Amino acid sequence: NWNETQEYACPEGPEAVVGWTVSQCEEGRWFPHYCGGPNGSECKELFMASPLWTTGMFEAIVQNLNLGLVPTYLGYDGLVEKVGKMHNEGRGYIFYSWEPDSLVVRYPSVPLTLPETSKECLEKYNTDPNL
């Protein structure tokens, strides 16, 4: 299910996110081409604070590895609130954070291990995940 709060930290419209010339947020999310957009339900949400933290990096990983996730940008406070709610309800969820942030201490988490990044991959990095 998509985020019930409808409070997002991702500006809408073309080029609203610095470095995104093709990609854009729709209803506070970035949709990989295979997820069906805001009306699709083929993918699950990946809760994130902002598309500016790692501009395009995680979006490109999601798309290139066909992870079936839709980055959903909630702002840091919204991320903490959403993770807390999902945790307290015993629901499954996935979110982006880092250590030693208190979020991963407050809500015990299991790190998601991704394939190692290569030099060749990094040389092709573009801040717009659709390029």
| Residue range 26-53, pLDDT digits in tens | 778 888 888 887 776 778 999 998 887 7
Tell me the residue type at 62.
V
Cα gap 66→34, rounded to integer Å: 8
Cis check for the bond before 111: say yes or no (omega within 30 of 0): no
Give, for all 131 residues of the chain, the pLDDT tens digit: 444 544 666 766 555 666 777 777 777 888 888 888 777 677 899 999 888 777 788 888 898 899 999 999 888 899 999 999 999 999 999 998 887 888 888 988 888 888 888 888 888 888 888 77
Q: Rounded to two decimals, what is the model's pTM? A: 0.81
Cα gap 3→15, rounded to integer Å: 23
74, 9 in Cβ contact below 8 A?
yes
